[in-house]
Amino acid sequence: MPSLLIILSSPFFIRALVASILISLITATMGSFTVFRGLTFITATISHSVWAGAALGLIIQIYLINWLNPIIVTTIVGVTVAIFIALLSGDGSAEKFDVAIGIMFALSMSFAILFVSMLREYASRTFGIIIGDILLLSNEDLMSLIILSSIVVLLTMIFINQFTFISFDMEGAEASGLNSAAYQLLMFILIAFSIVVLVKSVGAILVYAILTIPPATANEIADNVQNAMVLAFVFSLISTIGGLFLSIYLNVAPSALMGLIATGIYFIVKGINYRRSL
């Protein structure tokens, strides 16, 4: 099949493969801590703020600073929302987290709708953020992914012990003298960076699936943090690359297939665990 070989060796497909590896590294590191800390719904809030940031970035680029890359504004907005969630959640109780995430979700969606309505004929450009397409990444997009994912992975590895402590025992971390609020804020900022990386590739809607389902699946069978992160990487890589190859054959959106494969793996692992428990 020469046409298939041409596709598989094309620059856009190679960029997508590299992006799949970067996505899996993000999922294995910060995605795992999102699940450990019980912060899965924060991804939905920040991903919608990224939509608002993308629209604001386009407004600035079109009407004010034409050389500005909207990804810069997108990142700033995502990080700002993460910081506000950390500040509003106060002592980190589940109730305050829910309220903070709910408030920032509503605020993000309000700004997203406002900014999109201001774009008028350019509004359609923002909807690519919602759907995402890993096969349409440019060299500039890939370079942004490399930089942001490197920051996330490096900082997660540096502070892995602190993140693990506050994820499983926040009160114990505070009692031991650890500045848990500062590390929690850093974790939230890295989650925002992770979502910015993922949105461009899989879209705002499926960020939740890719960032949380592989780590949640790994959590079902791993016996420690390191094993959970390795398994999350494997499950994410299977989902992203599997969705990528299937999209070539089926001619459908790869991001949707990635989400379906990740969910399928989760249900398979859940089913195996259920049978073992009988």
For 169-209, how does the pLDDT look when each residue is reduced to its tens digit (9 = 90+)? 777 877 888 888 888 889 989 988 888 878 877 777 678 88
For residues 55 and 115, what is the distance between their CA atoms, to the nearest angstrom? Answer: 6
Say what the pLDDT of residue 169 is: 79
28 neighbors 229 (Cβ within 8 angstroms): yes
Mean pLDDT computed over 215-237: 93
Residue range 5-28, pLDDT digits in tens? 776 778 888 898 999 999 999 999
Look at phi and psi of residue 10 and say left if phi exceeds 0, alpha if psi is from -120 to 50, else beta.
Answer: beta
Rounded to the nearest angstrom, the gap between the alpha carbon of residue 178 and the centroid of all alpha carbons in its chain is: 27
Percent of the chain's residues with pLDDT above 70: 90
Residue 96: what pLDDT? Answer: 76
Mean pLDDT of the chain: 84
% helix / strand / coil in the chain, to the nearest 5?
Answer: 85, 0, 15
* Contact yes or no for 102/84 (Cβ under 8 A): no
Q: 128 or 87, which is more confident?
A: 87
Q: Is the pLDDT of residue 127 over 80?
A: no
Cα–Cα distance measured from residue 242 to residue 236, given in angstroms and rounded to the nearest whole number: 9
Q: How many CB atoms lie within 10 A of CB 110?
A: 11
Closest-CA residue to 247 (of 216, 213, 208, 202): 202
Q: How far apart, in Å, are the Cα atoms of 116 and each of 45, 102, 203? A: 17, 21, 16
What is the band of 218 on the pLDDT scale with cuts at 50, 70, 90? very high
Q: Is residue 232 pLDDT above 80, yes or no? A: yes
pLDDT at 278 over 80: no
Tally of helices (H runs) and strands (E runs) in the chain: 13, 0
Q: Is the pLDDT of residue 91 over 70?
A: no
Is 0.75 surpassed by the pTM of this model? Answer: yes
- The mean per-residue pLDDT over the stretch 52-78 comes to 85
CB 200 within 8 A of CB 71: yes
pLDDT band at 1 (very low <50, low <70, confident <90, very high): very low
Domain boundaries, the chain: 2-277
- Does residue 42 contact residue 30 with C-beta atoms inside 8 Å? no
Closest to 34 measured CA to CA, from 242, 259, 254, 209: 209
Q: Please state, as a whole number, how many other Cβ atoms lie within 10 Å of the Cβ of residue 71.
A: 21
Instruction: Indicate whether 154 pLDDT > 80.
Output: yes
By the 10 Å C-beta count (0-12 exposed, 13-18 middle, 19+ buried), 166 is classed as buried
Residue 238: predicted pLDDT: 95
At residue 52 the predicted structure's pLDDT band, cuts being 50, 70 and 90, is confident
Report the CATH superfamily, name and number, of domain 2-277: ABC transporter involved in vitamin B12 uptake, BtuC (1.10.3470.10)
CA distances from 261 to 65, 213, 214 (A): 41, 10, 10
Q: Is 121 exposed, middle or buried (0-12, 13-18, 19+ CB in 10 A)?
A: exposed
